[in-house]
Amino acid sequence: MEYLSKVIDETFRNFNPAFSIPRMALDDININDYIIPKGWKVLVWTRAVHLDPETYVNPKDFLPSRWDNQKLKAGSFLPFGAGSRICPGADFARLTIFIFLHYFLLNYKLEQINPGGPIVYLPYQRRADNCLANIIKLQPSLHLPSPSC
């Protein structure tokens, strides 16, 4: 269970569903000597944040174990945004994904159709065939109640 949580965070880091977070400057603002004039709109490019090698060693590698002792600076992990507009559904979304994956992985086996196939990098890193796979239902396990319960 602890490991699954790391798999989910690593998936969000690599394949963030929200590719950017929009904001508007309410005043003229200076960020690293760039002036953003009042009223201008800005996109926080989460992919660049999540693949920053200064925060994440070998950022393109899918490594759930990187979350074992990961100490994050504020703003370096933004799958649900940040600040006062942070996604209010974050905990619900994470819990739903967690429960789904838990039962899915216990009860189904995935067989990749093109293992080792080519990888594409835009708009995010993924197998060119989107990891096409056969999904095989396993024998009923002790983890689910039988229909007679």
Binding site for ligand HEM (CB under 6 A): 17-18, 21, 79-83, 85-89, 92-93
Write down the least CB distance from residue 97 to ligand HEM, Å.
7
The secondary structure of 62-74 as a DSSP string is --GGGGSS--PPT
Q: Is 149 annotated as a binding residue?
A: no
Write down the least CB distance from residue 41 to ligand HEM, Å.
12
Burial of 53 (0-12, 13-18, 19+ CB in 10 A): exposed
Q: How far apart are CA 8 and CA 10, in angstroms?
A: 5
Write down the least CB distance from residue 21 to ligand HEM, Å.
5
Residues at the binding site are 87
Residue stretches of the annotated binding site for heme: 87
